Structure 1
């Protein structure tokens, strides 16, 4: 019931924004999303693990989970413990910074702020991902915001943001070379070569693992922690953006983000049967790219609705609404809340 109420509350506020065109209304939506995420209680696969980590850090127990923890999250918890805060306060702080950075980038880059906000809220790979992948979504939001520095060619700011992101999830550090990779220009011939390399690489990957002595990983039964329905939607949208990239006036960095998303999603599809164990790596890394579709999709929809019909935008809204209910009603447990932020 709470998920349904959240849906209609956000949609009603969105309709008010259409009439008033006041950015404070979008801020209200994000405030609601912060509170709903930050005050959730035992929702999310990793929730019990984070409760355990908080207990260990609070009591100075050097458990394996604590020792392998990224320092950014570790010191955040240490600070919250020092002010008598609870793990619930940690969730709320993470929810605030994650949603704040996403809001700031939407405001800065989106051609349709409301549509970007609705995409972020309704598509399961975005807002609800923060219920589970807490540290990585924090890192993703930092990288998402830092993309503007690649476009502005501010290398020091970009590097600083990515390094800070890696303090919450180690995978973020491998994104440092993107400053150069995304600023390059790739013509059609080079893109065909890169697609060919990607396909052959993924077909040869299981054999490479066997040669290196890790052949056992290629036969493990593994279910990827992603929705292939959502992934298929991303792939179709990415192909459309590639086709219409010049007509929707994408800058070079945005074009490259879209193209490399195509390569990553293609790798995931190829490995679904070929080498499913490897998909966890590809899915984790593709998340950094797919978040940028919060910005790219409204640009595509703007072109398609102007060129063909406004019905396209409405049908897209219906599709992502279905994804919302599929994620929140069918995959998440009954919503419970906890407002205990400090121990007295």
Structure 2
């Protein structure tokens, strides 16, 4: 019920032409405050709580130079282990760690979305549905990693590779999947033609439907050992999960949803360019949004891997969509655009609530 109420509030604020700077800050503070309540309801919370209880305080670890308490069955990354150990010096309650971590995450999200659109609620609403209730209150490690990645987008725009690399390595200390983002620096700033994107999309669909026989799962099974241990071990883990769970049906709502979103993104970019509102920031968002779709169709049988990786990209399409809605000249068109965005988020929220988010 609480999630539905928050969704309705964010939806109502999304209809305003411009957001109020004070209210968006208050909403962020509110989300940070309720995060521990929602986190305690997630299925992963007992695992994180149990890990926190096992970890020794940082001063004890450093005094004896004994990191054995970090090495548990969960195999959490060193950054998250150190964060737990640091907070263990001050409190035995994992709730404090969660509150501070969520406040940090939402601060970086606020920095990322602020002033990028006239109404930040149009992008905060999808973040709440697609990231906050799915990842931030459940898999706190990846949420921290995603927030750091969003902060690093500024280094792509300013073409500062080394700061971007340092940021991604830092993100990788909390979730190793982030290390796959490092080479994307060289693609994110480029402007790709619609023709090229349609060709890549068409080939991807033929691979997805196995008109072109190709299996990324088979390919990675033979190449996982060539990666660095931190990346290779993660790949091996995902490959193992794939075999344990079995392949899901291909023709789910996901493929149709992504096909529609692909067409919408191509159209939105064309219109934004025509109106002179397409800048370098939106270009990076567009490229990552398209990459999200390509990952989905090309890596179709690595579903446990793309499930984790795509959370880094799922948010970017809404930056483009929100900007496109705001670019519409007539109030009626903006109203319909906002209504459709809310309707789409409502459908996805319903699916997540049914699945236990």
TM interval, short-chain normalised? 0.7 to 0.9
C-alpha distance in structure 2 between counterparts of 1:243 and 1:9, whole Å? 29
Secondary structure of 2:214's aligned partner: helix
Matched, 1:151 2:191: no
Matched, 1:61 2:92: no
Once the two structures are superposed, residues 158-205 of structure 1 have per-residue CA deviations (whole angstroms, 9 ceiling, x without a partner) of: 222212111110111121111111123333454355446645766421
Distance change >3 Å, CA 207–CA 196, structure 1 → 2: farther
Segment drifting more, 244-253 vs 87-96 = 244-253
Verify the 8 A CA contact 1:235 1:265 in the aligned structure 2: no
Verify the 8 A CA contact 2:7 2:125 in the aligned structure 1: no
C-alpha distance in structure 2 between counterparts of 1:107 and 1:234, whole Å? 27
Q: Which residue of structure 2 lines up, in the alignment, with residue 6 of structure 1?
A: 6
Distance change >3 Å, CA 50–CA 314, structure 1 → 2: same
TM-score calculated relative to the size of structure 1:
0.78
Matched, 1:256 2:287: yes
Once the two structures are superposed, residues 206-243 of structure 1 have per-residue CA deviations (whole angstroms, 9 ceiling, x without a partner) of: 5546878999987654367xxx6477545422321112
Distance change >3 Å, CA 52–CA 210, structure 1 → 2: closer
Q: Which residue of structure 1 lines up, in the alignment, with residue 142 of structure 2?
A: 136
Q: Report the CA distance between 1:125 and its aligned residue.
A: 4.2
Once the two structures are superposed, residues 92-136 of structure 1 have per-residue CA deviations (whole angstroms, 9 ceiling, x without a partner) of: 122111111111111042343121122222x23444321222211
Q: Which residue of structure 2 lines up, in the alignment, with residue 338 of structure 1?
A: none
The match for 2:339 among 299, 308, 314 is 314
Q: Which residue of structure 2 lines up, in the alignment, with residue 295 of structure 1?
A: 319
The match for 1:105 among 108, 112, 132 is 112
Secondary structure of 2:313's aligned partner: helix
Secondary structure of 1:132's aligned partner: coil
C-alpha distance in structure 1 between counterparts of 2:242 and 2:356, whole Å? 31
| Paired residues for 1:1-344 under 5 Å | 1-10=1-10, 14=13, 18=16, 21-40=19-38, 42-58=40-56, 61=69, 63-65=71-73, 68-121=75-128, 123-192=129-198, 194-195=200-201, 198=204, 203-205=213-215, 208=219, 220-222=244-246, 229=253, 232-249=256-273, 250=278, 251=280, 252-267=283-298, 271=300, 275=301, 278-303=302-327, 306=330, 309=333, 310-328=335-353, 330-332=354-356
Unaligned runs of 5+ in 2: 58-67, 225-235
Distance change >3 Å, CA 82–CA 23, structure 1 → 2: same
Q: How many residues align?
A: 319
Verify the 8 A CA contact 1:126 1:291 in the aligned structure 2: no
Distance change >3 Å, CA 41–CA 175, structure 1 → 2: closer
TM-score calculated relative to the size of structure 2:
0.76
Distance change >3 Å, CA 187–CA 86, structure 1 → 2: same
Verify the 8 A CA contact 2:295 2:306 in the aligned structure 1: yes
Q: Name the structure, 1 or 2, with higher relative contact order (CA <8 Å, separation 6+).
A: 1
C-alpha distance in structure 2 between counterparts of 1:103 and 1:211, whole Å? 41
Q: Report the CA distance between 1:83 and its aligned residue.
A: 1.0
Segment drifting more, 228-237 vs 40-49 = 228-237
